[in-house]
Amino acid sequence: MQIICLQNVDSRKLLDNPELYKKIAGNKLLSIPEFIVWFLLALWHAVVTFFGFYLYFDGHLNVTSDDYLGKEAFGLAVYRSAIIVVSVK
């Protein structure tokens, strides 16, 4: 959702000058430092989401046991929260 709302070039300028699409089509505007920042932020969100739920479930359920329902609930909670974090970010 953020990519749709984020525009470096005004929409009227893009409509008037379609050649600008060729310039941004290869996603070459993403520099190495910007990529590293995005990667580190994604890694941070993944670690916080996983270990946050791990610590929560560790106190309530034994995630490391053979309890299938506990593992399924843990995995589903991490998956759903990751989708929400990515969508909101």
Tell me: pLDDT of 32 over 70.
yes
65-78 pLDDT per residue, tens: 666 667 788 888 88
How many separate domains does the chain show?
1
Quick one: pLDDT at residue 40?
A: 93
Arithmetic mean of pLDDT, 44-54:
89
Quick one: pLDDT at residue 19?
A: 76
DSSP 8-state secondary structure symbol assigned to residue 9: S
Tell me: pLDDT of 57 over 60.
yes
Query: Is residue 79 within 8 Å of residue 86, measured between CB atoms?
Result: no
Domain carrying residue 83: 2-88
